[in-house]
């Protein structure tokens, strides 16, 4: 069973339907005991990092999601769910504009670094609309010719996915995909063999998103 974690942020039905269309069996729950027994975990979400982190902690979800990832069960974080993989996030924290603040919200700390605000001006001084909402391309990280991760099997570099976010993950060797909007940022990450995160919404990303969800379901079935 693929558990879709409900921490009371956003509509999860579209994610559940996307997994079902990809051939998976999904169940939405906020019950930490059920999450602890999951064969795979999907952590979606829309909202502020700090609020989501507090709610997950209050519901007893933080420790069990971290344990499931450590146990090597397949995991997919979507949008805010990807952000929560990191150590800290500024969104919704008291000092939201200061990534070095000691008041940042704590995430799952599976990946290192701080999720910060997307710049509104690029290095050349050009202004960009933030939040970043709409279709944009995903390229293999580091200028590679093709995606190396099984999450992107059958997906060509430069495919379009649907984004809606104003905060971005830090750079690091965990990045498997990248996108540019004012800056180039990690739009897909991987931890170990089974844990993934995507900045975009695959459930809203037409054929490319459907393929990515099929790939995740296949990873789950092969685990």
CA–CA gap between residue 219 and residue 223 (Å, rounded): 6
Provide φ and ψ at 175, rounded to 5°.
-70, 130
CA–CA gap between residue 55 and residue 96 (Å, rounded): 18
Provide φ and ψ at 152, rounded to 5°.
-110, 20
203 classed as catalytic: yes
Give the residue among 88, 127, 87, 118 at the shortest CA–CA distance from 105.
88
CA–CA gap between residue 194 and residue 77 (Å, rounded): 11
96 classed as catalytic: no
Q: Would you tell me how many other CB atoms lie within 10 Å of the CB of residue 102?
A: 9
Catalytic residue among 16, 88, 96, 203: 203
CA–CA gap between residue 56 and residue 157 (Å, rounded): 34
Alpha-carbon distances, residue 187 vs 80, 86, 141, 192, 202 (angstroms): 12, 14, 9, 17, 12
150-164 CB burial, b ≥16 within 10 A, e <16:
bbbeebeeebbbbbe
Give me the helix-helix angle, 206-222 and 13-21, nearest 10°: 70
139 classed as catalytic: no
Catalytic residue among 8, 25, 79, 165: 79
Q: What are the catalytic residues?
A: 79, 201, 203
């Amino acid at each position: 069973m693929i558990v879709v974690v409900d921490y009371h942020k956003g509509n999860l039905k579209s994610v559940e339907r996307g997994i079902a269309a990809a051939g998976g069996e999904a169940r939405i729950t906020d019950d930490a005991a059920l999450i602890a027994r999951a064969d795979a975990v999907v952590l979606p979400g829309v909202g502020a990092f700090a609020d989501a982190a507090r709610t997950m902690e209050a519901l007893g979800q933080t420790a069990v999601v971290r344990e499931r990832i450590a146990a090597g069960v397949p995991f997919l974080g979507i949008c805010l769910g990807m952000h929560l993989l990191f150590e800290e996030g500024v969104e919704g924290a008291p000092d939201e504009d200061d990534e070095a603040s000691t008041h940042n919200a704590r995430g799952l700390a599976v990946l290192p670094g701080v999720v910060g605000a997307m710049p509104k001006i690029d290095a050349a001084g050009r202004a960009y609309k933030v939040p970043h909402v709409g279709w944009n391309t995903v390229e293999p990280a580091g200028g590679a010719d093709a995606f190396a991760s099984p999450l992107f099997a059958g997906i060509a570099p430069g495919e379009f996915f649907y984004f809606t976010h104003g905060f971005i993950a830090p750079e690091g060797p965990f990045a498997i995909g990248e996108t540019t909007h004012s800056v180039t940022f990690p739009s897909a990450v991987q931890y170990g063999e089974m844990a993934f995160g995507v900045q975009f919404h695959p459930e809203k990303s037409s054929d490319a998103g459907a393929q990515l969800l099929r790939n995740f379901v296949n990873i789950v079935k092969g685990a």
